[in-house]
Structure 1
Amino acid sequence: MPQRPGTPPTSSEEALALVRSRYAEPKLPDGTPVPLAVHEFDIGYLVHPVFPQVSRIDAAGNPLPAPPGGAKIIVSKATGESVTVPNLPTESAIALYREQNG
């Protein structure tokens, strides 16, 4: 059943549908859609793309850091509002959301 506009999500599936309706779908360079994961927590849902692990090494064989950028989306359980947070580890992104949204 489609979610009515302005209705807060009551499940991970509804939060994911809400994010898909509001944001562009991430894609790999070949155009393949990137799967989205949902992490439910007490006051919201954290939604983020799950990019395949790519081994990045320099000419000497040393690992390179992940490219910068990207974001995660948090959907409020209370209001259905969504906000972006930096692409931090899950618990850090949730802590930042709590700090910024009381």
Structure 2
Amino acid sequence: MSKHLVLSVKPYDFQNNQGERVTGAKVTYINKKPSSREGEYGYPPLIVSVSNMNLVSNLKEVPAVYEMDFEQVTGKNNKPEIILTDVELISPVDMAQIF
């Protein structure tokens, strides 16, 4: 697992076009390492969709630093997709002390 700063968690709950209920959350976070892409610097936010609501319920403190574990799986058109598989709270972050 590696450390990440979770900035926000946005739950969703809707019916898709097939009438199936879809639940989960979008988790916005940043890595502890800055971007290494050419022409980009700093800490661009990343978003992962999480369908495991038990996992989402572990993200109680936000913003906060979490140990996060990811797994790479096959997505659409056999492109790699990253899924969040585990989270563990390290420490909350008081944004009022930063600003």
Normalising by structure 2, report the TM-score: 0.26
Larger relative contact order, structure 1 or 2 (CA cutoff 8 Å, min sep 6): 2
- Higher percent of residues as strand: 2
- Higher percent of residues as helix: 1
Normalising by structure 1, report the TM-score: 0.25
